[in-house]
Amino acid sequence: MLVLGICMAVSGFAGGVRWAVDGGGIWKALGMLSVGILGVLIVVSYFVNYDDR
């Protein structure tokens, strides 16, 4: 899950910024950025859950 979260975070933020710069539309850029945010939440939850063990 950690690797999946990192991949989602990196690709989501990079894709969202690139989509916004290229002028692809704000909704698709926000969709990509939301994937990045979800990836960050997965990574944070992994470490919080790991700390609780």
What is the per-residue pLDDT across 4-42, written as a single tens digit (0 to 9) for each?
999 999 999 998 889 888 887 888 888 999 999 999 999
- The answer to whether the beta carbons of residues 36 and 7 sit under 8 Å apart is no
End-to-end CA distance of the chain: 16
Q: What is the pLDDT of residue 53?
A: 67
Q: Of 37 and 50, which is predicted with more confidence?
A: 37
Q: What is the pLDDT of residue 40?
A: 95
Residue 19: how many other CB atoms lie within 10 Å: 19
